Structure 1
Amino acid sequence: RATGKNALLKAVIKEMLRLHLAGPLLVPYLSIAECDIEGYTIPSGTRVFVNAWALSRDPSFW
């Protein structure tokens, strides 16, 4: 278990990885059924890309 300086170092590394992602988009997903997200209808068979960069900077998640 991390304590003291090790805990701080671990927290700093996690924060750096959150802010500086290896890639801005996650692996694309294929919707298997029609669904509604935030008022938008996503048809079945649509390829969906998740913007990880935007999620990592959204204060409502962090």
Structure 2
Amino acid sequence: MHTITLIRMRLDPSTKTYVARKIAEGKTSRDAQRCHKRVICRQIFKILERADRNRLSNVEELAQAA
């Protein structure tokens, strides 16, 4: 997570604006990184959740076909 955060803070324009907004709110750079790590965790969780749902629907389709 730390590496993803650092790279996105360096290269991704939307992440740069997010971090700048958090710093403008009075947070330190480290606090802004922590907030961004939470955002990344939520994004990854949603991706994994979707993949799990797709896998379950594929299993149900296979069971119905059999």
Greater share of helix residues, 1 or 2? 2
- Tell whether the structures are fold-level matches, with TM greater than 0.5: no
Greater share of strand residues, 1 or 2? 1
Larger radius of gyration between Structure 1 and Structure 2: 2
TM-score for the superposition, normalised by structure 1: 0.32
TM-score for the superposition, normalised by structure 2: 0.31
